[in-house]
Amino acid sequence: MNKKTLKKRTLKLINDAIKLAEEGNLELARKYIMLAREYSNKGRFKIPLEYKRKFCRKCLTPLIPGKTERIRIKSKILVRSCLICGWIRRYDLRKNKENKSGTSDN
Protein backbone atom coordinates (compact mmCIF):
# COMPACT_ATOMS: atom_id res chain seq x y z
CA MET A 1 0.00 0.00 0.00
CA ASN A 2 1.46 3.38 -0.86
CA LYS A 3 1.72 6.26 1.55
CA LYS A 4 -1.09 8.27 -0.01
CA THR A 5 -3.56 5.41 0.23
CA LEU A 6 -2.44 4.65 3.75
CA LYS A 7 -3.00 8.24 4.82
CA LYS A 8 -6.42 8.34 3.20
CA ARG A 9 -7.39 5.15 5.03
CA THR A 10 -6.09 6.52 8.28
CA LEU A 11 -8.25 9.63 8.09
CA LYS A 12 -11.24 7.54 7.12
CA LEU A 13 -10.64 5.26 10.10
CA ILE A 14 -10.69 8.27 12.41
CA ASN A 15 -13.92 9.56 10.88
CA ASP A 16 -15.49 6.12 11.17
CA ALA A 17 -14.31 5.88 14.77
CA ILE A 18 -16.10 9.13 15.58
CA LYS A 19 -19.29 7.81 14.03
CA LEU A 20 -18.98 4.62 16.08
CA ALA A 21 -18.43 6.60 19.26
CA GLU A 22 -21.50 8.69 18.54
CA GLU A 23 -23.47 5.47 18.24
CA GLY A 24 -22.06 4.36 21.58
CA ASN A 25 -19.68 1.72 20.28
CA LEU A 26 -16.62 2.98 22.13
CA GLU A 27 -14.79 -0.34 22.16
CA LEU A 28 -14.70 -0.61 18.38
CA ALA A 29 -14.06 3.11 18.00
CA ARG A 30 -10.89 2.76 20.08
CA LYS A 31 -9.74 -0.13 17.91
CA TYR A 32 -10.17 2.04 14.83
CA ILE A 33 -8.07 4.81 16.37
CA MET A 34 -5.43 2.26 17.34
CA LEU A 35 -5.33 1.02 13.77
CA ALA A 36 -5.11 4.58 12.48
CA ARG A 37 -2.08 5.18 14.68
CA GLU A 38 -0.51 1.96 13.46
CA TYR A 39 -1.00 3.11 9.88
CA SER A 40 0.64 6.43 10.61
CA ASN A 41 3.64 4.69 12.17
CA LYS A 42 3.93 2.28 9.29
CA GLY A 43 3.51 4.96 6.64
CA ARG A 44 5.70 7.40 8.58
CA PHE A 45 3.33 10.30 8.26
CA LYS A 46 1.80 12.36 10.99
CA ILE A 47 -1.87 12.38 11.72
CA PRO A 48 -3.01 15.96 10.98
CA LEU A 49 -3.55 18.05 14.08
CA GLU A 50 -7.23 18.59 13.43
CA TYR A 51 -7.66 14.82 13.41
CA LYS A 52 -5.44 14.29 16.42
CA ARG A 53 -7.67 16.59 18.39
CA LYS A 54 -10.64 14.37 17.68
CA PHE A 55 -9.55 11.63 20.03
CA CYS A 56 -8.10 11.25 23.51
CA ARG A 57 -4.33 10.93 23.43
CA LYS A 58 -4.35 8.67 26.44
CA CYS A 59 -7.15 6.14 26.00
CA LEU A 60 -7.78 6.73 22.26
CA THR A 61 -11.51 7.25 22.67
CA PRO A 62 -12.97 9.63 20.08
CA LEU A 63 -14.00 12.78 21.88
CA ILE A 64 -17.68 13.60 21.48
CA PRO A 65 -18.67 16.72 23.42
CA GLY A 66 -21.27 15.88 26.04
CA LYS A 67 -20.69 12.18 25.61
CA THR A 68 -17.06 11.28 26.04
CA GLU A 69 -15.70 14.79 26.42
CA ARG A 70 -16.39 17.80 28.59
CA ILE A 71 -15.47 21.25 27.37
CA ARG A 72 -15.15 24.21 29.72
CA ILE A 73 -13.78 27.67 29.19
CA LYS A 74 -12.11 29.15 32.26
CA SER A 75 -10.76 32.68 31.91
CA LYS A 76 -9.91 32.24 28.23
CA ILE A 77 -8.41 28.81 28.75
CA LEU A 78 -10.23 26.02 26.99
CA VAL A 79 -10.27 22.92 29.14
CA ARG A 80 -11.11 19.64 27.44
CA SER A 81 -11.40 16.54 29.53
CA CYS A 82 -11.96 12.95 28.54
CA LEU A 83 -14.83 11.47 30.51
CA ILE A 84 -13.49 7.96 29.99
CA CYS A 85 -9.99 8.19 31.48
CA GLY A 86 -9.92 11.69 32.97
CA TRP A 87 -7.27 13.02 30.60
CA ILE A 88 -7.21 16.81 30.65
CA ARG A 89 -5.89 19.13 28.01
CA ARG A 90 -5.75 22.91 28.25
CA TYR A 91 -5.67 25.26 25.32
CA ASP A 92 -4.79 28.88 25.88
CA LEU A 93 -7.23 30.73 23.65
CA ARG A 94 -5.24 33.96 23.82
CA LYS A 95 -2.04 32.26 22.73
CA ASN A 96 -3.70 30.43 19.87
CA LYS A 97 -4.79 33.68 18.29
CA GLU A 98 -1.21 34.80 17.82
CA ASN A 99 0.39 31.45 17.36
CA LYS A 100 -1.49 29.07 15.12
CA SER A 101 1.33 26.56 14.76
CA GLY A 102 -0.08 24.48 17.60
CA THR A 103 3.32 23.26 18.71
CA SER A 104 2.04 22.78 22.24
CA ASP A 105 0.05 19.87 20.91
CA ASN A 106 3.01 17.64 20.22
Annotated binding site for Zn(2+): 56, 59, 82, 85
Q: How far is the CB of 69 from Zn ion (least distance, A)?
A: 9
If binding is defined by CB under 5 A, does position 17 make contact with Zn ion?
Answer: no
Q: Is 47 in the site for Zn ion (CB under 5 A)?
A: no
Residue 9 burial by CB count (10 A; 0-12/13-18/19+): exposed, middle or buried?
A: middle
Q: Is 57 in the site for Zn ion (CB under 5 A)?
A: no
Min. distance of Cβ 98 from Zn ion in angstroms? 29
Q: Distance (Å, rounded) from C-alpha 74 to C-alpha 65?
A: 17
Closest approach, Cβ 16 to Zn ion, in A, equals: 19
Within 82-101, the residues that bind Zn ion by CB under 5 A are 82, 84-85, 87
Count Cβ neighbours within 10 Å for each residue of 57-69 and write b for 16 or more, e otherwise: eeebbbbbeeebb
Q: Which residues bind Zn ion (CB under 5 A)?
A: 56, 58-59, 82, 84-85, 87
